[in-house]
Chain A
Amino acid sequence: AQKITQTQPGMFVQEKEAVTLDCTYDTSDPSYGLFWYKQPSSGEMIFLIYQGSYDQQNATEGRYSLNFQKARKSANLVISASQLGDSAMYFCAMRESVNDMRFGAGTRLTVKP
């Protein structure tokens, strides 16, 4: 069964606007972590932000924030003030206590000037 679902294959956003990339997950493990990665056209995987299942507050890292809704099992990435350099593939991932790490299908974000 798919554990991480990203329903938006592609998204467009105007430069300087905010954008939300969706991620839902499925687990019965009470302890888990959620991660977002960026993959620019160069191919490298860049870690952006982390949210733990027991964290009371939503994670933030600069222009990135994570809208964590535990009851809905969603962990959406919000990018504020989009820049042209934000154009990339974005992947949501989850770790459970069995030490694996699984990824979603990704969302391709295009920032328009």
Chain B
Amino acid sequence: DVKVTQSSRYLVKRTGEKVFLECVQDMDHENMFWYRQDPGLGLRLIYFSYDVKMKEKGDIPEGYSVSREKKERFSLILESASTNQTSMYLCASSLEFVGGPMNTEAFFGQGTRLTVV
């Protein structure tokens, strides 16, 4: 079974703190994703990575950065946390889209509920 593990289930941080959300997958997937989930807005893509050290901005990258130094690990960084970054953060991984999208469904971690006070 594919396993995607996020380092924390719940986090409470103060405004202005630097926050690291860690995600590890054990299936040698090339693609990894970070989303935030807010009621009524669904899952919005923050960043994704298609290979080690490679990253692409999603739809809402402002205020976030990412790091992928190893294939299995994808970190989301909030450089200076703000209250509007209070949300559920979901990490996912998948096989890469090579020759077609079959078998490229995303596998998700359990989510990290971040509260910035």
In the complex, chain A residues 84-104 whose Cβ is within 8 Å of any chain B Cβ: 91, 93, 95-104
What's the count of A-B pairs with C-beta under 8 Å?
75
- Tell me the smallest distance from the CB of B45 to a CB of chain A, in Å: 6
Interface size on B, residues (CB 8 A): 30
A100–B40 CB distance below 8 A: no
Collect the chain A residues with CB atoms within 8 Å of residue B56's CB.
Answer: 98-100
Which of A14-22, A41-49, A62-70 has 4 or more CB atoms under 8 Å from chain B? A41-49
A100–B35 CB distance below 8 A: no
A33-B104, A35-B105, A50-B105 as given contacts; A100 in contact with B90, CB under 8 Å: no
A101–B48 CB distance below 8 A: yes
Sort chain A's interface into a size bin.
20 to 34
Collect the chain A residues with CB atoms within 8 Å of residue B20's CB.
Answer: none
Collect the chain A residues with CB atoms within 8 Å of residue B105's CB.
Answer: 35, 47, 50
- B117 close to chain A: CB less than 8 A: no
A91-B42, A101-B33, A103-B43 as given contacts; A45 in contact with B101, CB under 8 Å: no
A103 to B105, CA, bound (A): 12
Collect the chain B residues with CB atoms within 8 Å of residue A95's CB.
Answer: 97, 101, 104
A105–B58 CB distance below 8 A: no
- Tell me the smallest distance from the CB of A55 to a CB of chain B, in Å: 9
Collect the chain B residues with CB atoms within 8 Å of residue A6's CB.
Answer: 42
- Tell me the smallest distance from the CB of B25 to a CB of chain A, in Å: 14
- Tell me the smallest distance from the CB of B66 to a CB of chain A, in Å: 14
Closest to B9 in A: A43
In the complex, chain B residues 58-117 whose Cβ is within 8 Å of any chain A Cβ: 58-59, 88, 90, 92, 94, 96-97, 100-102, 104-108, 110-111
Interface CB pairs A-B, < 8 A, 24: A9-B40, A33-B101, A35-B105, A43-B88, A43-B111, A44-B110, A45-B92, A47-B105, A47-B106, A50-B105, A91-B42, A93-B43, A93-B106, A95-B104, A97-B97, A98-B56, A99-B48, A100-B56, A100-B58, A101-B31, A101-B33, A101-B48, A103-B42, A106-B42
